[in-house]
Amino acid sequence: MLNRRDFAKLSVTAAAAVSVTRNISAATPTIIKPNRLKPGDTVGLVLPATAAFEADEIQFAKEQMEAIGFKVVIGKHAFDKWGYFAGHDRDRADDINQMFADDTVNGVVCYTGGWGSPRVLPYLDYDLIRRKPKVLIGYSDITALLNAVHKKTGLITFHGPVGGSTFDPFTLDNFRKVVMTAEPAGLLPTPSKKPNELIDRTNRILKIAPGKATGPLIGGNLTMIATLMGTPYQPDTTGAIFFLEDVHEEPYRIDRMLTTLALGGMFDKAAGIVFGRCSDCGIKGPSLSLEEILRDRFGSLPIPAISGLSFGHIEQKLVLPIGARATLDADGGTLRVEEGAVG
């Protein structure tokens, strides 16, 4: 079976709102904030990547969005299957384009990640998305979609839960604060410690390099960021708070992908680095630990860096708005979103 890591190698080759007069670099268009989502709004549920194993999984995601207070429109090709994909590339892209084109749809929620988002990037109508910007949210493989749309249009996109995620109170509260409130999210919280822990073991913040920096948030899943390297969709980290996370990767693979990013100058341009978690990243045989790899790669950089923030492949996850200004305080182990990400 083709796994996510092997697919990432192949996918590279396969491949109204409030405007803000701020540019994060010469290569990035003017930042655009989508309108905030409100109870009663309609969201489009799309599958840019992996197919749902069972149709009821999509129904479950629909019901979750309805429980938050939204009406839901499901993409025309959501139930398609082509191998491990939710339909052919152009069809998956067309569902996204149609959601942005439809004036009755207020936001776009991805059902899940998996693999396949990079394949739809050449077929997206970026001019349409720029003209009719909306909240676009997801994580994991959806990182490719979020960063491509942001780079091509300037639209703030949202690295956060997908329709099939667990919306526990921590996740739901942050979701509402970031995409349903025009005010800045402010200091991003950490989940409460487990009742059986004397001190918090799960949500510890590791301080890797000292300092404080402010810049736009850019990043997402490490595998997908590495996949975009050398393509027209490669994120611009100039002056950015660069955030990364991953899942099911051994330390040597994390090291290899971080090395790719380092050789591409992605860390040299950044203002600060936040590594989230590497969930289920076991060690086989002699190996550097994840902490050793992060300290080796980030510790000598002249920018602040931390790891352990709650986003990505974990149940209790934060929403990080790609393109919104944030401040990283590595000495305090905190990240603060300084501006509202929606209008």
Q: How far apart are CA 95 and CA 101, in angstroms?
A: 10
Q: How far apart are CA 263 and CA 249, in angstroms?
A: 20
> 40 pairs with which residues across the strands?
none
Closest by CA position to 116, among listed 83, 85, 160, 75: 85
Element (H, E) at 213: strand 212-221
* Residues catalogued as catalytic: 140, 245, 313
Closest by CA position to 144, among listed 36, 232, 76, 81: 232
Spell 125-156 as b/e; 16+ CB within 10 A means b.
bbeebbebbbbbbbbbbbbbbbbbbbbbbbbb
